[in-house]
Amino acid sequence: MTQALQRINPRRPFQVTSEGLKRIVLGETGGSSAVHVATHRDTAPKPLRLVTPATTYILVIAHSERGAIDVHAHEAIAAAALLAKPTTAVAVLVMGDLSEDLAAFGADQVYVSDSSDSARFDPDHDLAIATEIIARLNPRHIILPDNASGDLGRRLAARLDVSAAAHVVELRPDAVATHRQSGAQMARRDLPLLILLDPNTTDTALPFIGAGELRRLPALPDADTRYADLGTPPVDATQLGLEEADFIVAAGNGVSDVPMLLALAKTFDAAVGASRVAVDDGRFARDKQIGATGRTVTANVYLAVGISGAVQHLQGIRSVRHVIAINKDASAPIAGRADLTIVDDAQAVMGALLEATRARNFTPDDSDIVAAIPPTSVPLVDGEGTDRALGSLRVLTLASVGRNPVNGAARPDCNDLLALELARSLGNTTLLHAGDPNQPALGDYFAYGATTLAVIPTAEAQDIIPALASQAANHDILLTGTRSEGGEGSGLVPYLLAERLGWPIVGRAIAVTIADGQASITQALPKGQRRHVRVPLPAVIVIDPKAPFTPRYAFARRRAGTITQHAPITGVPDTSWRVEPATKRPVKFKAKEQKAGHARMLSAIVTEAKGGAVVNSGTPADKAQAILSYLRTHKLIEW
Ligand SMILES: Cc1cc2nc3c(=O)[nH]c(=O)nc-3n(C[C@H](O)[C@H](O)[C@H](O)COP(=O)(O)OP(=O)(O)OC[C@H]3O[C@@H](n4cnc5c(N)ncnc54)[C@H](O)[C@@H]3O)c2cc1C
């Protein structure tokens, strides 16, 4: 593989593929366009961090979508750059296509696996690519954002059998910290080899840049896999909750023609949002409000129409990737956040956009669209597809003890209750708990419908995987929640078990049907998408918190079940974690301030504008084209 790597100019300029966008390239004034573009983005040069040849590596792995990685992945790269010693290079493995420069986030070498595709479920492929690069670089640490890449991170932790920490909320040069017991405790340990970072751990503003060398990895030959991706049906985006939406068209006080804005949202398959003023005026429902006292959104694209960009509004769009503003005032604060600001009357530009996209202004055909699935109406098990003759299906469900976040009382773990509910609909299920057999909260599992509960007595910090695996081995399905509310809450246990058992594992499950010795699983993906996957049994299936049902407590059932005990687990406890009460908020990992006195004073009183291109002349039709060009160039629309 090493020889096959194809080296590409690391500092290549980004390609502008569409004629239209040439007019909005920062600083470019040529061409026949009537549109004038200005920018106030700061481009002061920064020094290279790595000035000597690298002797060691820190590897970051992230999945891309439409040629870019998200803010969370940028944070993981910046974290690696802040951890790196002067002779340590930050290598980034991007699963999927990449068309952005990661040098600004501290990446020294960027390996792009174009043959990976975040839209496709092929965990064996990504695992093979990642293990290959790891074998080659032998990194001191491997960092992944604990989002869509968390599945791969956990597979790696299990496959490589290395020290790992997941849901890391605080990172230091010598330690990581995670929350436990629903945030009541903070657990710290020395830096493990594999780190899965939660969002907002790291400040991406760095005083240096990485070398940003880009290398494209050749595609791996097709290999046998137990995972079959059966497809991801299209979703009606206009029906999605704002938190799940990929594209949002949002209205502010500058929008007087609400029907026009709604038509525009439909054209872009976008969800509709609003500023507080637009909501208070009764133009939009309260659940459309975005901002500090409304929804926080993570969309790819945010088209802010007639919104000033007050600080409370900006709080709600912090994680949005592309912001496009239409505002008649070029100095509105939203221009400081937007990647593209169109200065004009909102109604005029919306009208021009609708005109320019007339071919798209259709009424969607219902047969083409799977409506966004409301949480209460998804069938957990599709009765027709399920082989009901499988009364003999042996289902094992893991049960842990959770914690009521309000009063701290022990209770059945919410995520495991979802797994139990699914297990009950599949067939005979046994619950398995590793811990204190006398914990009173265990009895409540019977009240939720369990009939058999087996306990493996174990003390704190014992390795429970071998004992759990030996109990699971004679079952057809192992069902678990995503992460336990008590214990480490890392979400690693199902992956470690699957690896030990040699079974396939599928996460994010919200529905399962069993037929012909196979499990067909519906996964809940970000942005309201649902994917269908099939694996042969036996398999581990991890139930997503979005699984659409409410476990029912019946006091009368509480005494109906029986608890059996297995031999206790003994051994040397894992002492790598130090647990303490969570008294303080996690501290962000950031570069040391190296400003002179004058610069420090300036930064205290001046807010740095981060705005992008500003289109302030030309006709509304020209400006509509500038928006479409931006969207096309960044692959945000495919038409
Ligand atoms: C405690 C607190 C919490 C808050 N929480 C939120 C929150 O969660 N979300 C939120 O949004 N706000 C919130 N606010 C309110 C916030 O401070 C702003 O008042 C609000 O966001 C302004 O909404 P707006 O930008 O739509 O309206 P305005 O401030 O009136 O701005 C309208 C913008 O539209 C432009 N405009 C006007 N006419 C046109 C036109 N014809 N064409 C193009 N542009 C035009 C103007 O130039 C202006 O920039 C909160 C305030 C407080 C005090």
With a 6 Å cutoff on the Cβ, whether 109 touches ligand 1 is: no
CA 427, 508, 422 angle in degrees (round to 5)?
Answer: 20
C-alpha span between 103 and 49 (Å, rounded): 10
Q: Please give the distance, rounded to the nearest whole angstrom, from the Cα atom of residue 237 to the centre of ligand 1.
A: 25
DSSP state, residue 370:
B
With a 6 Å cutoff on the Cβ, whether 257 touches ligand 1 is: no
| H or E element that contains 410 | strand 410-412
Report which residue type is found at 542.
V
C-alpha span between 278 and 168 (Å, rounded): 38
Residue whose CA is closest, atom 51 of ligand 1? 312
Ligand 1 atom nearest to CA at 277:
23
C-alpha span between 33 and 20 (Å, rounded): 9
Ligand 1 atom nearest to CA at 334:
49
Q: Please give the distance, rounded to the nearest whole angstrom, from the Cα atom of residue 308 to the centre of ligand 1.
A: 5
Residue whose CA is closest, atom 7 of ligand 1? 291
User: How much is the pTM?
Assistant: 0.72
CB 478 within 8 A of CB 398: yes
With a 6 Å cutoff on the Cβ, whether 313 touches ligand 1 is: yes
The residue written with tokens 């299936």 in the block is 541
Report which residue type is found at 486.
G
The pair of three-digit structure tokens given for residue 450, joined into one six-digit string: 């369990």
Cα–Cα separations (whole angstroms), residue 312 to 256, 333, 502: 22, 11, 50
| H or E element that contains 471 | helix 465-472
Cα–Cα separations (whole angstroms), residue 254 to 167, 251, 306, 330, 350: 41, 7, 4, 13, 12
Residue whose CA is closest, atom 23 of ligand 1? 277
With a 6 Å cutoff on the Cβ, whether 288 touches ligand 1 is: no
Q: Please give the distance, rounded to the nearest whole angstrom, from the Cα atom of residue 276 to the centre of ligand 1.
A: 7
Q: Please give the distance, rounded to the nearest whole angstrom, from the Cα atom of residue 280 to the centre of ligand 1.
A: 11
Q: Please give the distance, rounded to the nearest whole angstrom, from the Cα atom of residue 284 to the centre of ligand 1.
A: 14
CATH of domain 6-225: 3.40.50.620
Q: What are the residue boundaries of the structural domains of the chain, listed by start?
A: 6-225, 237-367+609-633, 390-571
> For position 425, what pLDDT does the model report?
87
Ramachandran angles phi, psi of 312, nearest 5°: -70, -30
With a 6 Å cutoff on the Cβ, whether 253 touches ligand 1 is: yes
> For position 168, what pLDDT does the model report?
97
Q: Among candidates 71, 529, 107, which has minimal Cα distance to 323?
A: 71
CA-based R_g, the chain, Å: 26
Q: Please give the distance, rounded to the nearest whole angstrom, from the Cα atom of residue 303 to the centre of ligand 1.
A: 14
Ligand 1 atom nearest to CA at 294:
8
> For position 207, what pLDDT does the model report?
94
Ligand 1 atom nearest to CA at 311:
17
Looking at CATH, the fold of the domain delimited by 390-571 is given as Rossmann fold (3.40.50)
With a 6 Å cutoff on the Cβ, whether 252 touches ligand 1 is: yes
DSSP state, residue 344:
S
Q: Please give the distance, rounded to the nearest whole angstrom, from the Cα atom of residue 24 to the centre of ligand 1.
A: 27
Ramachandran angles phi, psi of 439, nearest 5°: -65, 115
With a 6 Å cutoff on the Cβ, whether 348 touches ligand 1 is: no
User: Which residues share a beta bridge with 60?
Assistant: 92, 143
CB 633 within 8 A of CB 99: no
Residue whose CA is closest, atom 27 of ligand 1? 253
Q: Please give the distance, rounded to the nearest whole angstrom, from the Cα atom of residue 323 to the centre of ligand 1.
A: 16
Q: Please give the distance, rounded to the nearest whole angstrom, from the Cα atom of residue 236 to the centre of ligand 1.
A: 28
Q: Please give the distance, rounded to the nearest whole angstrom, from the Cα atom of residue 307 to the centre of ligand 1.
A: 5
User: Which residues share a beta bridge with 65?
Assistant: 68
Helix (H, G, I), strand (E, B) or coil at 73: helix
C-alpha span between 325 and 335 (Å, rounded): 7
Q: Among candidates 179, 123, 110, 185, which has minimal Cα distance to 154?
A: 123
CB 541 within 8 A of CB 494: no
CB 501 within 8 A of CB 473: yes
- Domain 6-225 and domain 390-571, same fold? Reply is yes
Ligand 1 atom nearest to CA at 275:
11
Helix (H, G, I), strand (E, B) or coil at 133: helix
CATH classification number, 237-367+609-633, choose in 3.40.50.150, 3.40.50.620, 3.40.50.300, 3.40.50.1220: 3.40.50.1220
Ligand 1 atom nearest to CA at 309:
25
The pair of three-digit structure tokens given for residue 194, joined into one six-digit string: 């594999």
C-alpha span between 132 and 63 (Å, rounded): 16
C-alpha span between 493 and 540 (Å, rounded): 11
Strand 518-524 relative to strand 530-536: parallel, antiparallel, unpaired? antiparallel
Q: Among candidates 65, 62, 135, 140, which has minimal Cα distance to 105?
A: 62
With a 6 Å cutoff on the Cβ, whether 277 touches ligand 1 is: yes
Residue 130 neighbours by CB distance under 10 Å: 26
Half-sphere exposure of 32 (CA within 13 A, CB side): 1
With a 6 Å cutoff on the Cβ, whether 333 touches ligand 1 is: no
C-alpha span between 573 and 579 (Å, rounded): 14
C-alpha span between 481 and 511 (Å, rounded): 13
CA dihedral over 443, 445, 449, 455, signed as positive or negative? negative
> For position 585, what pLDDT does the model report?
86
Residue 76 neighbours by CB distance under 10 Å: 31
C-alpha span between 284 and 242 (Å, rounded): 13
Q: Among candidates 545, 561, 517, 563, which has minimal Cα distance to 394?
A: 517
C-alpha span between 411 and 391 (Å, rounded): 30
> For position 561, what pLDDT does the model report?
84
Q: Please give the distance, rounded to the nearest whole angstrom, from the Cα atom of residue 293 to the centre of ligand 1.
A: 13
Ligand 1 atom nearest to CA at 253:
26
Ligand 1 atom nearest to CA at 332:
49
Low-confidence ranges of the chain (pLDDT < 50): 1-42, 362-390, 602-609
CB 230 within 8 A of CB 533: yes
CA dihedral over 373, 374, 380, 386, signed as positive or negative? negative
Half-sphere exposure of 235 (CA within 13 A, CB side): 24
Helix (H, G, I), strand (E, B) or coil at 375: coil
Residue whose CA is closest, atom 49 of ligand 1? 308
User: Which residues share a beta bridge with 92?
Assistant: 60, 110
Q: Please give the distance, rounded to the nearest whole angstrom, from the Cα atom of residue 339 to the centre of ligand 1.
A: 19
Strand 213-216 relative to strand 194-197: parallel, antiparallel, unpaired? unpaired
With a 6 Å cutoff on the Cβ, whether 332 touches ligand 1 is: yes
| Alpha helix positions (H), 338-413 | 346-356
DSSP state, residue 283:
S
User: Which residues share a beta bridge with 345?
Assistant: none
> For position 593, what pLDDT does the model report?
66
